Structure 1
Amino acid sequence: MNPSTPFFKRFGPLLFGKPPVSALAEAFSKFSECGSLSQLRKTFGAYIPQALLARTSCGDNSRRRLFSLDVVFWSFFDQVQTPNGSCREAVRKVMALVRRKFPREKDVAMSEASSSYCQARAKIPLDVLDKINTHLVERMQNHIPDGALWHGRHVKLVDGTGLSMPDTPPNQARWPQSKNQKPGCGFPAMNLVGIFCLLTGALVQAAHGDRHTHESKLFQALWSALQKGDLLVCDRGFCSFGAIANLLLRRVDSLMRLPVNKIRKAIGAQLPKTANFDVTVTWKRPMQRVPSMTPEEFAQLPEAIPVRVVRYTIAHPGFRTQSVTIVTTLLDASIPAADIADLYFRRWGIELHFREIKISLNMDVLRCLSPAMIERELRMHYIAYNIIRSVMQKAALTHDVDLRRLSFKGCLDTVRQFANATSGAEDKPRTISAMIYEMLRAIARDLNPHRPGRSEPPSQKTPHEKLSSIN
């Protein structure tokens, strides 16, 4: 039976249960299903499982909408990797793509307002973003060459940093500003601790809290991201008996710089009086537990643990520190002390990773106005960073270059321009493959100079303009 009637066209959907579909919705459905939704999907789609962005059987992502999860994800991604990318610009880009795909359909018209896009962006499931980031990290981990591991171990780096965000009441309530600032003059402040992979530079996992949450507490929330057999390298801010012992219980070794106060109180009497040494000592459990640890957790710690202590002298010009004391649970005598010192020296790479994600990807000052959207914006920055890292790893493996010498900013600039160029190669897989290969070759040739031990004093070449403060 034909569900439509020639006299009452609107009765057909009411009687036979077929809802009317607007020309825009029908066209956009075809637009979303095609492989040329955006330049970004064609360039980075191979790194993300499309099943995670597909329509679901129920929930917010089950209906056919103009801004589907797939469209919103790539639009949000474009905002993150584009300097000063606004919601209005994201909507305009989608409008342009729709009009380009359907130039002759007059009924296909989108609203210029960004309200629909912002509402759809707020419905992105956090667990989907977490799964995408986990997939990217595992993908890079699986592509590490066999001989690249440090003495057969996967090395992870951990450190902390600070972020800011717009001064809105919800953000202030969740991440309050410093008490030293007058009301209305400061911005919400966030502490963030992240674990990075030494070989790939991938951001494995991150935890954040307000400025009153100590980094060591956030560090404990990341222990579940470590795997059996990993080696964790961090500075003296994370060094404690409880941290080393808990990591050992998880079969994770650690290598940390030992603070001066712990040298004197814990194992100072067992150390030689020479300038440089490599000894194994016993670190006894403290008599009193720290407030952040429950009595049950404190009781599970061993009475004492054997640790290896290495002290060496730094002779590089321009370095502030002259002597460094390292404590590690690597008791294998076949690992020389020079390798331990060199590994701790490479810990500085995490500072560069934070600079890349905060400065190159503009995460230093977040832009969303509510805590719920701040959570999504953070995860999108993690994903964007790891996607760029995946492209860098692909370029290094394809053209046999050292991944550590590739420029993150150079890679970001390259993929932006090549992503724009692929928009003119719709339905031409060979052309797109050739352009991606050329993109990887350009990234592999953009090497940073190899300057080990370079003196980089913390000086400022161009003074900033002096402006009066609100305070």
Structure 2
Amino acid sequence: MSIQQLLLSIDELHSFSDNSTFTQNIPVEWIESALTLSSKATIRRRRLPEDQVLWLVLGMALFRDESIEEVARRLNICSEGLSSEQLIAKSGISQARQRLGSNPMQWLFQRTGEHWANERFAKDDWQGLQVFAIDGVIFRTPDTPDLQAHFGNASNATAKQSAYPLLRCVALMNTHSHVILDAQVGDYRTAETPLAEAMLDKIPDRSITLLDRNFWSANLMHTLMNGGNDRHWLIPKRSNAVYEVVEEYGNGDALWRMTVSPQARKKNPKLPTYWDVRAVTYEVQGKPKTVLTSLPHSDYAADQIALLYQQRWEIELGFRDIKSSMLNNAITLRSKTVDLIYQEMWGMLLAYNVVRREASHAAAAHGQRASEIRFKMAFTYIASNLIVMAAAKPESKTGMRLKDLRSGICNLFLEQKKARPNRPRMVKQSKTRYPVSRNAVSLK
């Protein structure tokens, strides 16, 4: 199966039926395609087929500590005309990745994410609504002139720039399964709000989206709420918010009227001059916190809304899993050109979704939540099993391997989800590699 056929098959709804191998575990389909292509290898043609390059990019995310050549060897990826024992030249892998480009990886991630993040499991909904979260994350790229020019650097008040170019990613994540429905990737100079606005059409009906206070935007909120049926949002109040109390529903529950800024109305003339939002105020460690929402007072209790906002931290845990477990805290991406940086990012997000989706199905089979599975152990378990699958013979039974894989994942549940430690936030002193003398004298 060529990569074009593979991508086109995803667009058909029947390919996501229960009997589809692609639905159950996307890497298995790639592995089978790679093994089939290897069996058809010719002596003359030695270019690495695009099907295997796509699988190789995914493998780069699964085995971050290994060189790309070692990833190809582990996953039994070889050029046509070469046996699996013969290593592919590093230049050949680079040229093959350049031929593939970033667009196929982006399209494949977004299409599968749209289907996987909308899968419904028991215990996932909140009062009949799917729960999503939007937030941003930063990744470093190698320090080259081309990457510097394209992605840009962070700077502070002293005009000092960050040591590496920075890539900005804004993701839309299902807070229960932790599967990323969509993501927008761009340079550091692009703000998070425009990237978030580009994903609003992907949010399904009958849902609520949790946002950080930095995403406060009348245009974003109105577009989200009016772009579908029964789509809601929940966001903390900004400290400089100006409002008028229209109605008191109860203790800590009120209807506020807020003026839409002239700048926002100039950007979107369809915005009203003012808008009414519901404000829910509650206490956290003796301090008042207020969240604003579009949820109506008649259908949703204030105390439940206060508890719901805690789920916004689930997307932070997802970013932690990507950086800590998948990248092993090596947050500098390994590619050296702009297009390959994007290709690597889409491959990494797709690999993350594969692990999350397998964990979701394994948890659902045992009546558990996907968030109760240890991501790092599930990630390691799946990656090691994919190596075994890659070395398996083409005629081996894929369904049996999937059954064994999911059975093993079910043994990785957390015993009990511990509460977050209660520590005050502080700025820690940066560590230094050089020893500090005990007899050092501070100069005044």
Fold conserved between structures, TM > 0.5: yes
Q: How does 1:404-443 map to 2 (within 5 A)?
A: 404-423=371-390, 425-427=392-394, 429-430=396-397, 433-443=399-409
Q: How far apart are residue 206 of structure 1 and its match?
A: 1.7
Is 1:165 the counterpart of 2:141? The answer is: yes
Label 1:261 to 1:418 Cα distance change in 2 as closer, same or farther (>3 A): same
Where do 1:156-235 residues align within 5 Å?
156-179=132-155, 186-235=163-212
Q: Which of the numbers 252, 256, 277 marks the counterpart of 2:252?
A: 277
Q: Which residue of 2 aligns with 1:85?
A: 66
- Cα distance, 1:257 vs structure 2: 0.7
Moved more, 183-192 or 150-159: 183-192
The change in CA–CA distance for 1:281 and 1:464 in structure 2 (over 3 A counts) is closer
Aligned pair count reads 401
Residue 4 of structure 1 aligns with which residue? none
- Counterpart residue number, 1:454: 420
Paired residues of 1:52 and 1:132 also in contact (CA < 8 A): no
RMSD: 3.8
Q: Equivalents in 2 of 1:411, 1:74: separation in Å?
A: 19
Cα contact 2:321–2:375 (8 A) shared by 1: yes
Q: Which residue of 1 aligns with 2:56?
A: 75
Distance in 1 between the 2:52 and 2:240 partners?
54
Amino acid of the structure 1 residue aligned with 2:416: H
What is the aligned counterpart of 1:131 among 92, 98, 107?
Answer: 107
Distance 1:46 1:136, change over 3 A: farther
> For residue 11 of structure 2, what is the aligned residue in structure 1?
none
* 2:243–2:257 CA contact under 8 A, matched in 1: no
Which is worse superposed, 86-95 or 434-443?
Answer: 86-95
Which has the larger displacement, 92-101 or 334-343? 92-101
Question: Counterpart of 1:367?
Answer: 334
Aligned equivalents of 2:167, 2:96: Cα separation in 1: 26
1:416-469 C-alpha deviation (Å, 9 max, x unpaired): 222233456425535x544432332222221224345432536999x955349x
- Residues 162, 192 of structure 1: 8 Å contact kept: yes
Asked if the contact 2:363–2:369 (Cα under 8 Å) also holds between the matched residues in 1, the reply is: yes
Report the Cα offset of residue 308 of structure 1. Answer: 1.1
For residues 238 and 420 of structure 1, the distance between their equivalents in structure 2, rounded to whole angstroms, comes to 41
Matched-pair contact (CA < 8 Å) for 1:129–1:379 = yes
Retained in 2: the 8 A contact 1:47–1:387?
no
Counterpart AA for 2:263: R
CA drift of 1:336 comes to 1.1
CA distance in structure 1 between the partners assigned to 2:288 and 2:396 by the alignment: 57
* CA–CA distance in structure 1, aligned partners of residues 73 and 121 of structure 2: 42
Q: Which residue of 2 aligns with 1:342?
A: 307
Aligned to 1:335, the other structure's residue is in SS state: coil
- Distance between the aligned counterparts of 1:336 and 1:365, measured in 2? 44
Q: Distance in 1 between matches of 2:139 and 2:225?
A: 31
Contact 2:116 2:181 in 1 (8 A): no
Partner of 1:300: 270
Spell out, residue by residue over 1:220-249, the C-alpha distance to the aligned partner (whole angstroms, 9 max, x if none). 222232234332111211123332222223
Partner of 1:242: 219
1:82/1:342 CA distance change after superposition, 3 Å:
same
1:91: Cα distance to partner? Answer: 4.6
Query: Structure 1's 64 and 138: CA in aligned 2 closer, same or farther, altered over 3 A?
Result: farther
1:43/1:452 Cα in 2 relative to 1: closer, same or farther (>3 Å)? closer
Cα drift, residue 110 of structure 1: 5.3
Distance 1:49 1:120 in 2: 17
Structure 1 residues 49 and 313: alpha-carbon distance in aligned structure 2, compared to 1, 3 A threshold: farther
Deviation at 1:188, TM superposition (A): 0.5
Compare 185-194 and 71-80 and name the one that shifted more.
185-194
Q: How does 1:41-80 map to 2 (within 5 A)?
A: 44-46=26-28, 66-80=47-61
Aligned partners of 1:97 and 1:51: how far apart in 2?
Answer: 12
1:114–1:64 Cα change, 3 Å: same
> Structure 2 CA distance, aligned partners of 1:182 and 1:285?
33
* Match of residue 117 from structure 1: 93
What is the CA–CA distance in structure 2 between the aligned matches of 1:50 and 1:233, rounded to whole Å?
39
| More off after superposition, 162-171 vs 362-371 | 362-371
SS in 2 for 1:466: coil
Alpha-carbon distance change, 184 to 200 in structure 1, aligned in 2, over 3 angstroms? closer
Structure 1 residues 344 and 429: CA distance shift in structure 2, 3 A: same
Aligned to 2:232: 253
Contact conserved, 1:140 with 1:200, CA < 8 A, in 2? no
Q: Which runs of 5+ in 1 are unaligned?
A: 1-39, 56-62, 104-108, 316-320
Q: State the secondary structure of the residue aligned to 1:247.
A: helix
- Per the normalisation by structure 1, the TM-score is 0.74
Structure having the higher Rg? 1
TM-score by length of 2: 0.78
Structure 1 position 392, deviation (Å)? 0.6
Deviation at 1:374, TM superposition (A): 0.8
Structure 1: which amino acid aligns with 2:354?
A: I
Q: Cα offset for 1:153?
A: 1.6
Looking at structure 2, the residues matched to 379 and 132 of structure 1 have their Cα atoms a distance apart, in angstroms, of: 9
Distance 1:306 1:72, change over 3 A: same
Task: Sort the Cα spacing of 1:208 and 1:426 in 2 relative to 1 into closer, same or farther, 3 A.
Answer: closer
SS at the partner of 1:310? strand
**Distance (whole Å) between structure 2 residues aligned to residue 82 and residue 49 of structure 1:** 16
Q: Secondary structure at the match of 2:65?
A: coil
Q: Secondary structure at the match of 2:133?
A: strand
